[in-house]
Amino acid sequence: MNTQKTVFLILSLLLTPLAASATVRSWSGDVSVDVVAPDGRVFGQYPTHEPRRRNVYRNYLLAYPGADYGIRVRNNTGRRLGVVVAVDGRNIVDGSKSHLAAGERMYVLAPYQQATFEGWRTSRNQVNRFYFTESEDSYAGAFGDRSAMGVIALAVYRERYVEQRRRELSERFNRPGPAKEDAKRRRSAPESADALSRPGTGFGEQTHSPVRLVRFRPATRAASRYFIKYEWRQTLCAKGVISCGEPANRLWPDAADDWAGSEDYAPYPPEQVY
């Protein structure tokens, strides 16, 4: 059986440098992940302080009602990577219920490429934008799926032939001889806001976003997984993730005040979720 998968590759590279940010940056493994506004500002992320599992990364994110956002991913390696991206448990390429599996539709990033995924893909040339909204107005909610509401999730897959070639080279040059066995022996000897409203991601305005199809054969297992749980400010306050006890400074607004202008924009109507 042919196991090759046809997936999407973002055409346009984002060549602008990564914006400096005082917020918690999301990791630095095979990929770097940020959630960004249309003007490039980075949404604040905060560690969960849960025991970390190997190659699994989790953060909280402070979401703002009605704000558009994109998921900015940078390939930090010199090889192609496949990235399955799910928002609220739905694959952002085809809208299906996602389990972050290797057989799902995914984006492919060239070596050291950076791309921003701005919405639900509705054709090869367009997406409908992500925006933070109530779960009742969300894209996943329209399908009756609330199993992973409020979570941005990514699974990173290395290309299979690259992994096979690396193993072959490793086996060829690292066959244990007497000297290597002696060295190996020497080295080895000495994670209550339930009453608050739940956020989700809406199906926003249509925007131009061309891609092309490429061949990519992903490894069987994901190299790493990334989970960002986005919540409203009051929820993160209640959980103790951020400190909200100090009064606002009228001459030095905090991050929430900086975003207050987003409430002046017209919200997306619920009828657009379908």
* Dist CA 196 CA 102 (whole Å): 35
pLDDT score, position 72: 97
**What pLDDT is recorded for position 99?**
96
pLDDT given at position 179 = 39
Q: Which residues pair with 151 in a beta bridge?
A: 229
pLDDT of residue 184: 37
Position 190 scores a pLDDT of 33
pLDDT at 191: 32
For every one of its 274 residues, what pLDDT tens digit does the chain have, with 9 covering 90 and above?
444 444 444 433 333 333 333 345 555 579 999 999 999 999 999 988 776 777 899 999 999 999 999 999 999 999 999 999 999 999 999 999 999 999 999 999 999 999 999 999 999 999 999 999 999 999 999 999 999 999 999 999 999 875 555 655 555 555 544 433 443 333 333 333 344 578 999 999 999 999 899 899 999 999 999 999 999 998 999 888 988 876 666 676 555 445 444 445 555 555 654 4
For residue 216, the tally of other CB atoms under 10 A from its CB is: 20
pLDDT of residue 262: 46
Question: What pLDDT was estimated at residue 268?
Answer: 56
pTM exceeding the 0.75 threshold for the entire prediction: no
3-state class percentages of the chain: helix first, strand second, coil last, to nearest 5:
20, 35, 45
- Taking Cα atoms as reference points, which of 90, 86, 67, 106 lies closest to residue 142? 90
Strand extents, DSSP E, 31-113: 31-36, 45-47, 56-62, 68-75, 81-87, 90-91, 107-109
